[in-house]
A and B are shown apart, each in its own frame.
Chain A
Amino acid sequence: MVYLTRKAEFSASHLYHNPALTPEENRRLFGKCNNPHGHGHNYTLEVTVKGEVDPRSGFVVDLKQLKEVMHREVLDAMDHRFLNKEVPEFCDQIPTTENIAIAIWQRLATKLDRAKLHRVRVYETPDLFVDFYGEP
């Protein structure tokens, strides 16, 4: 089994707000991230796939195909977007780094040809990142 990781970057804005809570609770829970006008980050995405090396090509996965899928499913949808308003998953979910990692996993998991998705890592800043392994 070999693991292959591909990186990508995207920039997006978001805010943390749960409509089920009062404005005071939202502010207490989410602090500055509750600013109604949103704020932004440069996100770094790391997608790790795993599989056996194909004896003919020597590849775990066709990197070109992985790159295309990441572009189509993730970057086209999230890069330079206001996540709360423009990405369907975040109409009813808060776009925390945890939920972004899960949403990206769900967008990619069924779209890969040969390799199996192993991990989605999303850096919100260089000092904060979330890993999702598809665990329930």
Chain B
Amino acid sequence: MVAVPQMSEGTPPDPLRQLGQRLDRAQRERAAETRHADAPPPGGLGFGFRIGIELVAALCVGLALGWVFDRFVGTRPWGLIVGFFLGVAAGMLNVFREAKGLIFGPPPPGGDRREGRLE
């Protein structure tokens, strides 16, 4: 038999470990580059759409709460009126929070996500 030429005596390269190391490295690199890219791209139309929905939804919830309050307490029409204004305010607040996160960039990784809260 022909002697198989031996490589260096110590550790033969373990293919699994090598693959693991390569995977780890690739994942680290990918994590670094996608960290700031994970927010949906703020396209103009999509952004407007989100803002609009946020406004309408808050207004509807405010109106609905006011209407229900009226029905049970019998203060018609004041619950509806107050609910309307509170709904508008809540919608503005939601829009403000959403826009703050989009315009001023994504929050630092691992940091507080609720940037928009009034501090």
Question: Are chains A and B native binding partners rather than an unrelated pairing?
Answer: no
Query: Contact residues of A with B, CB < 8 Å?
Result: none
Interfacial residues, chain B to chain A (CB-CB below 8 A)? none
